[in-house]
A and B are shown apart, each in its own frame.
Chain A
């Protein structure tokens, strides 16, 4: 009896101790990053987690540390999706790293409203003026919050030899020419275009471009501010899209096709020569390389042309749809953080960035160092564009953008209408006002 009682007491003690340990190990210790002290630690999250890109960023951190005694940079190289998930959680707890990526638009606006991002308009004035128009997507009420380091535009990636096989000699520049190309490709038994409507946004890019062609820049800018979609150019964008979808240019089962990731995805179909073209951004050659066995993607057959003109629209036919990534500092980061992101946007760093094909540099002086010819061509369209419209789902934020994309996919499915897209967007927007 006595022995059992003693044993019980021991068991109790052990249980209590275990719980206590379990609880105490949960409380992490946060190192103070104090801007006023001599020694400063900056935490930096980025998504170049493999190969030369990772080494390049590590090297930059070392370089900055030796130029600025007392500054330590803790680099976390994360896989892209992991980084986004961790960043979301970090923003919710207000525990974000000092230096992180911002995609701009509505997402940035939400972060600014919650007081999470540092206003760098004055501290980084020189770099901002060097970047010129690119910073527009990262500006909230005339204040700049991030420095874009890579920006691309969306256009048609296509297979040169398939175009030749169908007897298409010139890349289409108008909708009529695009429709003719679609017919020609069908004529030789090639599925013309793949679209990842299952992922939503790749399908939505068509509507965005039709809106960009139908609506004037003023109308779009006003709508971004007022969140009123009353102009009938928004409906006409949907009508243009419905007309195009009616010509049945897309791959079989496109409503269930995903954007990228598998050989059956929209990018995979183009990379594996199952379709002739796909509307996608500057990331496409890299994505395609990962989806073919020889890691070459389309190789020599890779080519690019910008989204065609749409007759009767009020938008500038040379305007491009695009987006990119920018470096931002946390609101509570030490001041040296701004120096670091300015360093990341310096001439030499952007040049190295371009040479390693890590993205499309935003600093005009560095754009000459992009090696791949089709990317250089894309870059020339970006630089010559009267303006680059940020992807609408990014510009309007996740909620309005999500509602918009959903309604656009239903136009692709034939169950939605052009007016339906505007209505869904407007009712989501009304909740944000």
Chain B
């Protein structure tokens, strides 16, 4: 189950992998066509230079393609094959069940809950982290003493290893842990809770930890984006008598658009494949309150030796992520690609 193991990489890792996959995919198809074309010119006696160039391409691209095929393409195809069998991992895989595993997964209330949780986390992540990230980024972009120190502090949670952060939070969130002790000290003893043990608050607890962990990424990306906003525009605006807020709303934020959209994409993919933080904090519990598609896959699939079933769930997770990524790409990120330069020029004119 290499594919399942692959799903356990950190959240950030996923985003990069997904990005890498989309980047490599067109390349891969491009290569394939180059190969199929290659024999043609050779047969017609192309110059030896051209022939050598092709050979070079083949030799240098082949290792990368081979690795990609071995560790990404083949596992995905294998998962698709396993997903139509009932198989406990032992002995021959001979109990073909067609799409029964898919029907079972889609009809399972716990899986539906997992999908709902993933969607909730995806939406809330953007809804909570974008305003916070934007505000802090704008704040940190102004010059003040200790600016660099603040930037580092804000980014620390994101740099901490996911598992380490998860374990620390888990200890803090225990009934006798630090969070409850703190609440009691400041006289809010009535608000103490079993943060990761109470089904009605566990998802919100996880959401809180995720916000703490990933706000840093949003802030750093947005800060980088802010460096790309030309100083002259701010000067021009202030000469025109625009207030600070007006400058941010009419100039900075619109110009941050591409950065925001890219961050939203990363955040969405990360939320859909969310595994490690949830696994450490709650293992998808209590009573499945925080189950995500990835924890469902492990708990109901591989931990029960239902490899066919867990492969079907993996394929569903793949399809959902792929579809959402494609939709986002088509309708949102598309605006940032190179061929809509006229639009940008128009914007400048209107300004």
Do A255 and B199 touch across chains, with their CB atoms under 8 A apart? yes
B window 154-211: CB within 8 A of A: 171, 174-177, 194-199, 202
A window 239-286: CB within 8 A of B: 251-257, 262, 264, 274
Known: A92-B89, A110-B90, A113-B91. A256 touches B59 (CB 8 A): no
Do B305 and A399 touch across chains, with their CB atoms under 8 A apart? yes
Q: Which has the most chain B C-beta neighbours within 10 Å: A256, A274, A399?
A: A256
Do A255 and B198 touch across chains, with their CB atoms under 8 A apart? yes
Complex Cα distance, B91 from A116, in Å, reads: 9
Do A252 and B90 touch across chains, with their CB atoms under 8 A apart? no
Contacts of B171 in A (CB 8 A): 262, 264
Contacts of B300 in A (CB 8 A): 402
Known: A15-B59, A88-B89, A256-B194. A415 touches B303 (CB 8 A): no
Do B305 and A398 touch across chains, with their CB atoms under 8 A apart? yes
Shortest B55–chain A CB gap in Å is 8
Known: A254-B197, A398-B303, A415-B199. A8 touches B88 (CB 8 A): no
Do B199 and A431 touch across chains, with their CB atoms under 8 A apart? no
- Contact among B52, B63, B90 with A92 in the assembled complex (CB-CB below 8 Å): B90
Shortest A54–chain B CB gap in Å is 28
Chain A residue nearest to B281 in the complex (CB):
A256
Total CB contacts across the A-B interface at under 8 A:
96
Do B285 and A198 touch across chains, with their CB atoms under 8 A apart? yes
Complex Cα distance, B175 from A198, in Å, reads: 14
B window 288-312: CB within 8 A of A: 288, 299-300, 303-306
Contacts of A91 in B (CB 8 A): 89-90
Any A CB within 8 A of the CB of B245: no
Do B174 and A253 touch across chains, with their CB atoms under 8 A apart? yes
Complex Cα distance, B66 from A116, in Å, reads: 34
Contacts of B175 in A (CB 8 A): 251-253
Chain B residue nearest to A413 in the complex (CB):
B287
Any B CB within 8 A of the CB of A291: no
Any A CB within 8 A of the CB of B282: yes
Complex Cα distance, B196 from A234, in Å, reads: 31
Contacts of A111 in B (CB 8 A): 90
Any A CB within 8 A of the CB of B60: yes
A window 87-109: CB within 8 A of B: 88, 91-92
Do A399 and B287 touch across chains, with their CB atoms under 8 A apart? no
Contacts of A257 in B (CB 8 A): 197
B window 62-108: CB within 8 A of A: 63, 66, 86, 88-91
Do A110 and B197 touch across chains, with their CB atoms under 8 A apart? no
- Contact among A5, A12, A399 with B306 in the assembled complex (CB-CB below 8 Å): A399
Do B86 and A198 touch across chains, with their CB atoms under 8 A apart? no
Number of interface residues of B (CB under 8 A): 36
Do A19 and B304 touch across chains, with their CB atoms under 8 A apart? no
Complex Cα distance, B59 from A410, in Å, reads: 57
Shortest A33–chain B CB gap in Å is 21
Number of interface residues of A (CB under 8 A): 39
Any B CB within 8 A of the CB of A298: no
Do A256 and B196 touch across chains, with their CB atoms under 8 A apart? yes
- Contact among B59, B88, B110, B286 with A12 in the assembled complex (CB-CB below 8 Å): B59
Contacts of A262 in B (CB 8 A): 171
Q: Which has the most chain B C-beta neighbours within 10 Å: A5, A16, A198, A255?
A: A255
Contact with B along A379-407 (1 / 0, CB 8 A): 00000000000000000001101110010
- Contact among A5, A198, A399 with B197 in the assembled complex (CB-CB below 8 Å): A198
Shortest B86–chain A CB gap in Å is 7
Contacts of B285 in A (CB 8 A): 197-198, 255-256, 409
- Contact among A19, A115, A253, A406 with B198 in the assembled complex (CB-CB below 8 Å): A253
Known: A198-B283, A398-B303, A402-B303. A255 touches B197 (CB 8 A): yes
Do B199 and A110 touch across chains, with their CB atoms under 8 A apart? no
Any B CB within 8 A of the CB of A356: no
Complex Cα distance, B198 from A254, in Å, reads: 9
Any A CB within 8 A of the CB of B50: no
Any B CB within 8 A of the CB of A52: no
Shortest B180–chain A CB gap in Å is 10
Chain A residue nearest to B167 in the complex (CB):
A262
Complex Cα distance, B194 from A255, in Å, reads: 9
Chain B residue nearest to A403 in the complex (CB):
B304
Any B CB within 8 A of the CB of A188: no
Do A256 and B286 touch across chains, with their CB atoms under 8 A apart? yes
Complex Cα distance, B196 from A231, in Å, reads: 37
Chain B residue nearest to A411 in the complex (CB):
B287
Complex Cα distance, B88 from A159, in Å, reads: 42
Any A CB within 8 A of the CB of B56: yes
Any B CB within 8 A of the CB of A125: no
Complex Cα distance, B190 from A30, in Å, reads: 64
Contacts of B88 in A (CB 8 A): 110, 399
Known: A12-B59, A198-B285, A257-B197. A116 touches B90 (CB 8 A): yes
Some 12 contacts from A to B, beta carbons below 8 A apart, are A15-B60, A19-B66, A197-B286, A198-B285, A253-B195, A256-B196, A256-B202, A264-B174, A398-B303, A398-B305, A399-B305, A403-B304
A interface residue numbers (CB < 8 A to B): 5, 8, 12, 15-16, 19, 88, 91-92, 110-111, 113-116, 197-198, 251-257, 262, 264, 274, 398-399, 401-403, 406, 409-410, 412-413, 415, 431
Closest 5 A/B residue pairs (Cβ): A253-B197, A253-B194, A256-B197, A255-B286, A114-B91
